[in-house]
């Protein structure tokens, strides 16, 4: 007998809100409906394992089909099914949760794998549907039930013909949501949200033995790492992220205590040295996709990686504010950070050579992680390495020991040590040669994050390290005697540059190039950071070191005033090129000066 009734919700105004705003993304309805089917199968299998019922050995699965002519999208499971009373409870009483009731009844037997709540999740179907029908038959010996509602707080319920156990949800798709009647779109949504569902999910099931599920019921991350080969990890990476560049290595997370957490984080190969490319870390709950890159669960710096993390302790539908304030979520985040740091440390200690080959691809990630996460820095600070100008990799402890030994100092006597670095091997080739010839050491810091990172390390180790670019100071080993004053040259540069913010000093170097050095490390870093953030730094106060061993510098005294000014400005522009990126007016002047040189040469 057909009956009609009201859906029991707290307000008649609730249904339009559910239909429109239950989730931020409409397409998530398919995840919810499929997840309910997964729950239903899991419940039934639990009852079978407890001896309360039996199964016929059939394959447990979810079948999805589209009928464009009838404008319907159907999702069918062969799970526990529902009686008429259960439909009334779990569907019409939205505040009552079927999963909660089931777990309460069987909590002693355990309810692992019950994904969510057959209630509000079901109503996500109304975000895309005009009417929704349910055809369901319980595993109990009761009649099958047909339920139907157009989402306006009323419904009808009656017995129906359905011979097989399980539930079929038929969604009559609204005209404005016709995209969900395209089979290709539905398949893409299944791959997005249901890739790792624990039971096979089919779209347009034909039953001819050729059907292929769109999901993997036992994803690689759910397996024991001992049972996974390198090729397994690489294939999983290709299939999950559609990236055919092999990852350089990975971290397999697998723990059951103090919380359940599984996953794999991949270190992708760096494509661009000048920026940090955002990766994609997919978050799952019991193999059901939640979202990408949830920073409350996954530390920000780890989002540079690609990976999947499955944590049943995080509910499917939860607010960001809850995640931010949840103590267990913070513990999960800290644990993930620790496991990544442990993997890097283990690699450094057990296979230093391999670790060094990975460094170019991992260095930006590690440096960014140190800046963003204090605990991560504490764990990895001793495995931060740099390649020096001779091609050797050293960490800071090794670097300090080498330089301390070279100067004959004991560690306890050593104060903050200056470490020289090159930011561009080609542009600073002359300075690198000078250092090599003088037997001096310098490290290479040639990525965009290094100015920030070096300042960060100086802040963390104020009594141990300070950094200067290879062209930002004149070490004693580079000088040929003491500096001398040259009043004639001083007047030439003062009158030519006409800039009170420029201080000019004179040194005779052991090599005749370069003609001029700009040696203000702090102002250069300030300028680089300003340019990175699109800010103008104005005119900088600079110190010029004029190399009196340079032939051009010496001959300047013999030239007329006009040529002296031209050469002074020109060599100053050359020095600026190595110091920073030229401003537009500086670049214009430099280009014009070069054109003038060419013109004079032709004459």
Q: What is the CATH number of the domain that holds 58?
A: 3.30.565.10
Q: Give the CATH number, domain containing residue 521.
A: 1.20.120.790
User: Does residue 67 share a domain with residue 52?
Assistant: yes
Q: Which residues of 300-334 are buried (b: 16+ CB within 10 A; e: fewer)?
A: ebbbbbbbbbbbbebebeeeeeebeebeebeebbe
462 and 486 fall within a common domain: no
**437 and 307 both lie in a single domain:** no
Task: Say if CB 302 and CB 345 are below 8 A apart.
Answer: no
* CB 478, CB 509: distance < 8 Å: yes
Residue 266's φ and ψ, nearest 5 degrees, are: -105, 140
Map tokens 């100092």 to a residue: 409
Q: Which residues pair with 202 in a beta bridge?
A: 63
Q: Residue 357 domain-assigned?
A: no
The total of other beta-carbon atoms located within 10 Å of residue 584's CB is 7
454 and 483 share one domain: no
SS3 content of the chain, % helix, strand, coil (to 5): 45, 20, 35
Answer yes or no: is 549 within a domain.
Answer: yes
Position 182 in a domain: yes
At 104 the pLDDT is: 61
Residues 91 and 158 in one domain: yes
Say if residue 489 is in the same domain as residue 462: no
Q: Is the pTM of this model over 0.85?
A: no
Instruction: Indicate whether 352 belongs to any domain.
Output: no
- Predicted local confidence at residue 95, as pLDDT: 40
In the chain, how long is the greatest CA-to-CA distance?
A: 114
In the block, residue with structure tokens 């097989």: 164
Q: What is the CATH number of the domain that holds 283?
A: 3.30.230.80
The residue from 442, 470, 498 where one domain ends is 470
Residues 6+ apart with CB under 8 A from 548: 484, 486, 489, 506, 507, 508, 554
Segments forming the whole domain that contains residue 131: 3-203
What does the angle CA 542 – CA 454 – CA 544 come to, to the nearest 5 degrees? 15
- Note whether 154 and 224 are same-domain residues: no
342 lies in some domain: no
Helix or strand or coil: residue 80?
coil
10 backbone dihedrals φ, ψ, rounded to 5°: -70, -20
Task: Say how many domains are in the chain.
Answer: 4
**What does DSSP assign to residue 557?**
G
User: How far, in Å, CA of 72 to CA of 171, rounded?
Assistant: 5
My answer on whether 267 and 316 are in the same domain is yes
Q: Which residues of 187-208 are buried (b: 16+ CB within 10 A; e: fewer)?
A: eebbbebbbbbbbbbbbebeee
Same domain for 287 and 250, yes or no, is: yes
Q: Which of 322, 337, 352 is the last residue of a domain?
A: 337
Residue that terminates a domain, selected from 203, 231, 263: 203
Model pLDDT, residue 476: 73
Claim to verify: residue 155 and residue 281 sit in the same structural domain: no
Task: Give residues with Cβ within 8 angstroms of 578, minimum separation 6.
Answer: 427, 428, 431, 471, 514, 518
Residue 413 counted as domain residue = yes
Q: Which residue has the tokens 């300075």?
A: 431
**Who contacts 1 (Cβ-Cβ below 8 Å, separation ≥6)?**
158, 159
- The CATH number given to whatever domain includes residue 421 is 3.40.50
Residue 370 lies in a domain: no
Low-confidence stretches of the chain (pLDDT < 70) are: 7-24, 94-120, 271-276, 315-326, 402-415, 483-484, 520, 522-524, 526-540, 603
Question: By the 8 A CB rule, do 36 and 122 touch?
Answer: yes
Same-domain status, 312 and 427: no
List CB contacts of 434: < 8 A, sequence separation 6 or more. 478, 509, 510, 511
- Quick check: is 90 in a domain? yes
* pLDDT at residue 167, as a whole number: 97
Q: Are residues 408 and 493 in the same domain?
A: no
């Amino acid at each position: 007998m057909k009956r009609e009734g009201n859906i029991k919700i707290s307000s008649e105004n609730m249904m339009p809100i559910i239909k429109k705003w239950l989730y931020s993304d409409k397409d998530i309805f398919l995840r919810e409906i499929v997840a309910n089917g997964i729950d239903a199968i899991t419940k039934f299998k639990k009852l079978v394992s407890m001896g309360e019922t039996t199964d016929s050995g059939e394959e447990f699965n979810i079948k999805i089909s589209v009928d464009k002519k009838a404008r319907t999208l159907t999702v069918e499971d062969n799970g526990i099914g529902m009686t008429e009373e259960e439909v009334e409870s779990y569907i019409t009483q939205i505040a009552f949760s079927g999963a909660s009731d089931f777990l309460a009844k069987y909590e002693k037997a355990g309810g692992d794998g019950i994904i969510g709540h057959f209630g509000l999740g079901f109503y996500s179907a109304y975000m895309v549907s005009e009417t929704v029908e349910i055809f369901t038959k319980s595993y109990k010996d009761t009649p099958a039930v047909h339920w139907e509602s157009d989402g306006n707080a009323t419904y009808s319920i009656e017995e129906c013909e359905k011979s097989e156990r399980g539930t079929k949800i038929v969604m009559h798709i609204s005209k404005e949501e016709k995209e969900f009647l395209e089979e290709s779109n539905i398949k893409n949504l299944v791959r997005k949200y249901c890739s790792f569902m624990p039971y096979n999910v089919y779209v347009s099931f034909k039953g001819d033995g050729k059907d292929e599920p769109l999901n993997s019921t036992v994803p690689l991350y759910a397996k024991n790492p001992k049972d996974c080969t390198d090729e397994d990890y690489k294939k999983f990476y290709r299939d999950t992220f559609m990236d055919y560049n092999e990852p350089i290595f990975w971290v397999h997370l697998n723990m059951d205590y103090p919380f359940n957490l599984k996953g794999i984080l991949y270190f992708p190969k760096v494509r661009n040295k000048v920026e940090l490319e955002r990766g994609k870390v997919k978050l799952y709950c019991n193999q059901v996709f939640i979202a990408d890159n949830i920073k409350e669960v996954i530390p920000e710096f780890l989002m540079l990686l690609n990976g999947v993390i499955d944590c049943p302790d995080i509910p499917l539908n939860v607010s960001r504010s809850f995640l931010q304030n949840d103590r267990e979520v913070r513990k999960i985040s800290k644990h993930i950070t620790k496991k990544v740091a442990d993997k890097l440390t283990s690699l450094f200690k057990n296979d230093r050579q391999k670790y060094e080959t990975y460094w170019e691809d991992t260095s930006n990630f590690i440096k960014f992680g140190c800046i963003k996460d204090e605990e991560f820095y504490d764990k990895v600070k001793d495995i931060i390495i740099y390649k020096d100008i001779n091609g050797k990799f050293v960490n800071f402890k090794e670097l300090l020991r080498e330089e301390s030994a070279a100067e004959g100092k004991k560690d306890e006597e050593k104060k903050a040590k200056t470490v020289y670095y090159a930011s561009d091997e080609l542009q600073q080739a002359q300075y690198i040669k000078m250092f090599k010839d003088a037997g001096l050491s310098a490290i290479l810091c040639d990525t965009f994050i290094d100015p920030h990172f070096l300042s960060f390390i100086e802040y963390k180790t104020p009594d141990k390290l300070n950094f200067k670019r290879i062209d930002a100071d004149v070490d004693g080993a580079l000088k040929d005697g003491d500096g001398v004053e040259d009043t004639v040259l001083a007047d030439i540069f003062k009158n030519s540059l006409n800039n009170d913010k420029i201080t000019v000093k004179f040194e005779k170097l052991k090599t005749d190039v370069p003609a001029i050095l700009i040696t203000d490390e702090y102002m250069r870093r300030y300028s680089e950071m300003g340019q990175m953030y699109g800010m103008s730094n104005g005119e900088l106060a600079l110190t010029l070191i004029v190399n009196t061993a340079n032939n051009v510098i010496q001959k300047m005294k013999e030239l007329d005033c006009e040529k002296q000014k031209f050469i002074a400005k020109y060599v100053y522009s050359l020095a600026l090129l190595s110091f920073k990126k030229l401003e537009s007016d500086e670049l214009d002047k430099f280009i014009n000066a070069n054109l003038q040189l060419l013109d004079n040469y032709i004459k």
